[in-house]
Amino acid sequence: MGKDLPEHKNPFYFVSKTDRRDFLKICLTAAASIGLSATAGVRIAEAAAAGVLRPSVIWLHFQECTGCTETLLRSSHPDVGKLILEMISLDYHETLLAASGYQAEAALHETMEARKGEYILVVEGSIPTKDGGVYCKIAGKTAMDSLAEVSKNAAAVIAIGSCASFGGLAAAEPNPTGAVGVSELVKDKAIVNIPGCPPNPYNFLGTVLQYVVLGTLPELDAELRPTFAYGRTIHEHCPRRAHFDAGRFAEKYGDDNHKQGYCLYKIGCKGPATGANCSTRNFGDTDSWPIGVGHPCIGCTEKNLLWRTALHDTVDIEHPTGPATYPPIVPEREGISPVATGVAGLVGGALIGAGVVAAKKLENKDDDNQKEV
Ligand code: FSX
Ligand code: SF4
Ligand code: F3S
């Protein structure tokens, strides 16, 4: 639908053409993130602008906040969203579709028929399985039935966001609706998880780019996440890492150390156990990201962290010292060395699950105040 209609009849006509220079810049960035050269990035930009790279996409919403769609399209710098819409033929998307009711259902089924075996299914939100799946119904069908129906003839499935990837917020204990991620239900398709709550638009864009340009899906880790985006921890490239290595920590929100931009580990930063590229790619196509604005990483890309651990809990430290490429650290605080700092976390993790013990080893006298936050 989005591909074949003249602009004035296209339901997505309000998405104006992106400025060419910005368009090129985004293509180059996205191409680089999946390991393609700048020349390939220019070719992609040209092909995308000419409309030749336009796989059909059906986008289903289940239990979620629509933040995944919002972050793609309504960031303060929305060119990534525009590029995505120019690169794909978005044939069904409940938030963006101008049609509703029977018309919308018709659009969905026409696409499923016309692009059988070719379309990409993007799923946003978790799927409730309890009580026959009655907690999420669209057009009289449960999310479970819709997912089974639409995934059946999809070429591939992309689960966007932590809800679709792992169940997300709805699956937090006690998980009243029996919410699960796509991979718990779809077993016979290639699935790519793009977790994050919400996820970084570049990680979705990079995945789509690889599919439309190379015809392949990215290399995935054990959680089905593209390694180009989730293969390294936040901690490895965090701008606050030198503070961690030197033992300089915010002890509670708003204290002097926090204002100085010190490491947020002791107030619950999950960066050491979180695979994601926010520290290098920033977030939502802005210069901002959680740690950059003083908030600990909550592990929003990790199946076993987001909404599964308390925000103030600390995590295991797997790499106690900084990479050899880092400049040497001179500890500023008496009695704390970089190695001691890291080993404290390591020992804690080895004993009973980092959090509690590691925090105790690192805590100082005003740690009690942290609990008030
Ligand atoms: Fe989930 Fe998407 Fe969190 Fe929301 O819709 S990943 S609740 S920010 O955004 O699904
Ligand atoms: Fe950055 Fe968090 Fe690691 Fe500290 S613990 S260096 S804030 S990722
Ligand atoms: Fe999420 Fe942590 Fe990045 S909370 S947005 S993975 S800094």
Amino acid making up residue 14: F
Main-chain dihedrals φ then ψ at residue 160, nearest 5 degrees: -100, 130
- For residue 368, pLDDT over 80 is answered with no
- With bands split at pLDDT 50, 70 and 90, how would you rate the model's confidence at 22? confident
Quote the ligand 3 centre to 289 CA distance (angstroms): 7
pLDDT at 206: 84
Q: Which residue has the tokens 């290639």?
A: 190
Q: Is 293 helix (H, G, I), strand (E, B) or coil?
A: helix
Atom 3 of ligand 3, nearest CA residue:
278
Using CA of residue 111, residue 117, residue 118, residue 122, what is the dihedral sign? positive
| Pairing relationship of beta strands 127-128 and 179-180 according to DSSP bridges | antiparallel
Per-chain mean pLDDT for the chain: 80
Pairwise CA distance, residues 46 & 38, whole Å? 12
Quote the ligand 3 centre to 78 CA distance (angstroms): 20
Q: From the CB of 225, is ligand 2 less than 6 Å away?
A: no
Atom 1 of ligand 3, nearest CA residue:
300
pLDDT at 21: 73
Q: From the CB of 298, is ligand 3 less than 6 Å away?
A: yes
Quote the ligand 1 centre to 22 CA distance (angstroms): 27
- Are 199 and 68 a contacting pair, CB within 8 Å? yes
Pairwise CA distance, residues 303 & 316, whole Å? 16
Q: From the CB of 11, is ligand 3 less than 6 Å away?
A: no
- With bands split at pLDDT 50, 70 and 90, how would you rate the model's confidence at 79? low
Quote the ligand 2 centre to 108 CA distance (angstroms): 44
Q: From the CB of 72, is ligand 1 less than 6 Å away?
A: no
Quote the ligand 3 centre to 290 CA distance (angstroms): 6
- 238 CA: nearest ligand 2 atom: 1
Residue of 225, 293, 298, 306 best suited for mutating to test ligand 3, as the one with most atoms within 8 Å of CB: 298
Residue-wise pLDDT tens digits, 112-157: 999 999 999 999 999 999 999 999 999 899 999 999 999 999 999 9
Question: All domains of the chain, ordered by start, with CATH?
Answer: 13-230 (3.40.50.700), 232-322 (4.10.480.10)
Q: Which residue has the tokens 């909550």?
A: 298
